[in-house]
Structure 1
Amino acid sequence: MATSCLVCPYLSSCILGGQGRSTIRRFSDSLKRLLFQGKGKIVFHQGDPFDGYYLLCEGSAKLVKVLKGGRQVIIEVLVPFSMLNLIPEKENPRHECTAVTISESCEVAYISEARLTALVKQFSPLGWELAGYLSGVLRTTGRLLACMKLPVRDRLLAYLAGKLAQSRLEHNRHVIPIPVTQRELAEIIQTTPETLSRSLRALRNEGIVRPRKGGIEILRADLVKDFFDD
């Protein structure tokens, strides 16, 4: 587990990317670092009082929401760097989802709302970066929700496009980590595993994607990005 954000391998892709060393050091010293061993560990429960922010630093996690009637759905799958919860919109807020680890080892950093607010006031570039990150998350979420009425192939492309915007090049390749089963991915884009399988096969045959162990490689990043921009 990284003892400081200064040596984190995801530093360049998180909200601290481009910040000065003093800002990074102060932010890092404000974190409480949590290590979850084993899949299925709960970071926080839906309905728990909101008490601060949880940052995914290593491993993968999913956000699960229980709907009215008791049905449980996967809202999102997250990899580093990601915030597991966003800024609340009301007084006395509570977590709207349950965060569950899906990797054997998961590292999470916690920072209280008061401490993050103080840091943002002290280091304005950090505030701008945080605002940009949150704006991007909300924009991507809104676009994905709008795409849920489209055919499954287009829903899948929209999901991959959103992830592509957040991903890093791996050996000059665009690889989207998909740390969940095909059934769980189908649940995210609101379809059946069988329909998802057919859509993936069609995109592979078109030379747009290539399934890989633990993820999907985007072969036509230009096409996928254009789809999301449109």
Structure 2
Amino acid sequence: MRPEDVPLLFQELAREYADVTDMSVAATGSLARGDHRTGPGGDIVSNLDLIHVVADGADVPEVRALVERRMQRISDTFRIETTSVIAMLPAFRMAGHAHYRISMRPEWFCDGLGLGPEAFVHPGRAEGDQRAALSWMMQPVPYYLAKATVLDPTTNLAKARRAATRLADRFDLEEVRDNLDNLPRALRTLIAERGVTPLESTARYLDTPTHPDVARLVRDAVFVESMGLPSADSMLVLLPSAPN
């Protein structure tokens, strides 16, 4: 997909979900932020990330089937990889400072749950509590560090450093800036000096960063924290179909 096609992509997404009434859908990630990556030929190489918020766990299997059909059409039309995650409404409201919430595009493709603009304005229970906000904004750092143990270390370590830099810039954390080459130490220092109670995903990584299953353990904890569902129930990754 070419960069000039991004507005068309969002228009098509809005049409695709216009008739949906049992969930709310929004974009997050680099395409939503406008800082997506392009390859040597100028094509976008970032994927499309969507959040599908549902109110009832009983709806998840049906929602997964609907999302798979609709996002396969989007992937095929625009020749782009799409990642969709399903989030339970209570978890979505609790995860106000989660990175995916902060990255959200400030419009809904559909708002079948009637959440309204305040879903972007009020980040949930962490509102006004800096230590709670810190714990959520730390979350991507161990996630990418753990992911780097099993997949593309160069890319994922760079993502961990970027997440740490965002954290340091938002809260003016010299202890993080000074330890970008040793991010586990940076996190431990931050937790100790600021009295932060880390999320379970962060604690799992820091307790056993060399555990052979640490990537899976951290990923699963992140999904339960942020989406209210295990990753196997929440995430759908769709690639463009092979040309005929």
TM-score calculated relative to the size of structure 1: 0.30
Tell which has more relative contact order, 1 or 2 (C-alpha 8 A, sep 6+). 2
* Greater helix content: 2
